[in-house]
Amino acid sequence: MAATGAGAAELTVEVLGLRSGDGLVHFGLYDNSDTFPDKDGRLDGTEVPITEGRAVSVFKELKPGRYAVAVFHDENANGEFDQGLFGLPLEDYGFSNKAVVFFSAPAFDNAAVTVPEKGLNISIRLD
């Protein structure tokens, strides 16, 4: 849950490697391994337009701690993470901490970053 007042941190997430400027980038912030990376289990989420080949989202008033971020490029702006045959992704996606995907989303612990009180800036590259 987001913190308020003193000690609140910010997590700035920049997404690079977008194949086009079309659509939006969806960001999901998670603090719980049980709900990562389910859309309904997000602590917070945003949809951000692409500007100059990148998208940036800032999550504010966070308690210092461990968080994971999942992003996808909703290139056709339909609000969904499009998948094709056998559930193979049709849109680019990525996770914090350079977490690697092997047939399914990475574990929370592999994607988690530690956000200190002073805040943290991270980047996620879509390939």
Task: Quickly count: other Cβ atoms within 10 Å of residue 26's Cβ.
Answer: 24
- pTM of the predicted model as reported, rounded to 2 decimal places: 0.90
Q: Does the pLDDT at position 1 exceed 70?
A: no
Q: Domain 9-125 is in which class? A: mainly beta
Map out the domains of the chain as residue ranges: 9-125
Distance CA 97, CA 64 (A): 17
Greater confidence (108 vs 3) lies with: 108
